[in-house]
Structure 1
């Protein structure tokens, strides 16, 4: 695989971006005479963005009175997202991607809050978090410059493209052969597990997904046949629910988490350890490394782990 409805504690808090805006008054006065599209057109680092806006017929829309807050990917951001050409992207898909970068209203850096933020792509909000390394969107996109003011809003520069998710948690797992063991166990558990994963609420879920290799290691001490026994269905269900945290928790949120975190298994909690790399700790299984993070789904986020968590 490439690339908390809150429970037990208030996870997201008010934060300010805290990044320094341009201090050159003459430069700011010049920018203020331009709308957000003019700002992009005037800056060579946004040439790919301008081409994308033009192809999607969004230039005139962003010249409206707004105001708009635009998280603008640079040319380097498009390259980082492996978008080297716009030819293979339909106008419809391009529109969904670009509108996922625009928020209604003029939101300056000092006014930004963490958590869920609606965008002009009504099907795909974004999720903001802040840690000591900076401000991030959806756990993978970093804000690298803020408060480039315009006549109809403000532009914040980002280092990656915000691509809206198209698949839910269950579909992502089912389509990845490295999760075949996880999928088979979810199917064998109480149907409520699969239902919860596929029909998560707007607040979403965070899933710590063990790989096939992680389950192979578990089977050395807990045979798969034991887990699949009808007599142990409750045990299997509780183990699987122990890998699910209510709400979306991105890797960039983890530095702000302390203490125990509630899971979908009402009787068991997890902890995190970021020393020497991100780890999630099971009560009786110990630490599992997070080997791939922030796989965004329409109804949550997946982090890949290398050890099955046991309550």
Structure 2
């Protein structure tokens, strides 16, 4: 612990310099010359919310060099981000921790490895004290170093990091997502290989929308992977639409949308059970033969494109076609809740203090957060109005999050009126915080 504190003290000159001008987190980002991340905050439309002096907020802010490296890795430019607020929201939210003013003493009071919730529920980060400093491990298992810690004062802290963190909401290419969750998406990879389209899984140059069937979707569709390659290719192309279209913003309910295969699909929206008292919807896709599938996880960004996970296979009209998918359940008791969907697709399981990822065959997946020493930094949280405003702002362009960010977190302690404050630290400012089970 003393080594980490020594690192913080060694940077004292930086801290003092920033303190001279920082009344809120935006001031600190500017004073610390973290301009690229500040630009992302601006693009997300959250700048005004971040300027609150009352909000307890901790930012893991990538350096300008880290943001440039991220854009290269994703195959993107800043102009691409300017045109995609949904992706920008996800990036900013995953680097934002609300309700916590977290420096080293608070983070490592109980453990050298802690799991911290972000504003991109249910995704967390793992923060670890090492002999050389502090590291941050993201959802996909990438490790960043905190290079300039503990910037800011009063209710906010900024820790500069040397990499952009990846949540489960954005990936460099489709093969990364499939490789991370083979029990969910390995069949579509096999189908692409059978159709001679395997190279598309690692492509970054296309701005397309992919409706991505799960393994179970293929099983119930009757599609056989030993069918002629041209047949499988036709089916796969029927799942691709030109342009990166997020749900619901870029679809007009009931309007025909032409696929890469040439035939149309339609997307409609069905009201579901309210989340935290806020009306919610789910998206239903109807194919050329009348089959309906449900979008069980929308808006997963893949480089310049976007994917929407569906629970069935879309079928074009074709000779000898596989059976159409059964009509989707349009009742309000269906699995349309975005929080439940994330838990289903990223099935973390707690075993004492151990966090693992379970796959259908019982084997462990990626080693993310499988550290027996890791403990939750958080266990109960109440967000003040200024913090709720930030949460809403960084989720404003997400599915069903436009009215209120509470739609993202049923069961999450996001609303001060519903979840009382539970201070852990003597000053009552720093608290244990929890976003429900948060998928963990």
Alignment of 1:238-277 (within 5 A): 238-256=234-252, 258-266=254-262, 268-276=263-271, 277=282
Q: Counterparts of 2:234 and 2:43 in 1: how far apart (Å)?
A: 43
C-alpha contact (below 8 Å) 2:204/2:303 kept by paired residues: no
Q: How many aligned residue pairs are there?
A: 201
Determine whether 1:127 maps to 2:83.
Answer: yes
Could you say what secondary structure the match of 1:228 adopts? coil
RMSD: 4.2
Q: Unpaired segments of 5 or more residues in structure 2?
A: 1-20, 91-118, 122-163, 272-281, 317-440
Which residue does 2:286 correspond to in 1?
Answer: 281
Shift of 1:242: 0.7
Determine whether 1:300 maps to 2:305.
Answer: yes
Return the TM-score normalized by structure 1: 0.52
Post-superposition Cα deviations, 1:233-276, rounded to whole Å, max 9, x if no partner, equal 1111111111111111100324535531111112x211111123
Could you say what secondary structure the match of 1:273 adopts? strand
Which residue does 1:189 correspond to in 2?
Answer: 195
Which residue does 1:199 correspond to in 2?
Answer: 203
Return closer, same or farther for 1:261/1:124 CA change in 2, 3 Å cut-off: closer
Post-superposition Cα deviations, 1:5-40, rounded to whole Å, max 9, x if no partner, equal xxxxxxxxxxxxxxxxxxxxxxxxxxxxxxxxxxx9
Could you say what secondary structure the match of 1:173 adopts? helix
Shift of 1:209: 0.4
Determine whether 1:71 maps to 2:67.
Answer: no
Q: Unpaired segments of 5 or more residues in structure 1?
A: 1-39, 63-67, 78-82, 100-118, 129-136, 143-158
Return the TM-score normalized by structure 2: 0.38
Q: Counterparts of 2:218 and 2:43 in 1: how far apart (Å)?
A: 45
Shift of 1:286: 1.3
Q: Counterparts of 1:296 and 1:69 in 2: how far apart (Å)?
A: 17
Shift of 1:160: 7.4
Q: Counterparts of 1:51 and 1:125 in 2: how far apart (Å)?
A: 23
Could you say what secondary structure the match of 2:78 adopts? coil
Alignment of 1:126-275 (within 5 A): 126-127=82-83, 137-138=85-86, 141=89, 165=170, 167-177=172-182, 178-190=184-196, 193-196=197-200, 198-199=202-203, 201=205, 204-219=207-222, 222=223, 226-229=224-227, 232-256=228-252, 258-266=254-262, 268-275=263-270
Shift of 1:48: 3.6
Return closer, same or farther for 1:124/1:257 CA change in 2, 3 Å cut-off: same
Shift of 1:168: 2.0
Q: Counterparts of 2:255 and 2:27 in 1: how far apart (Å)?
A: 45
Q: Counterparts of 1:227 and 1:196 in 2: how far apart (Å)?
A: 17
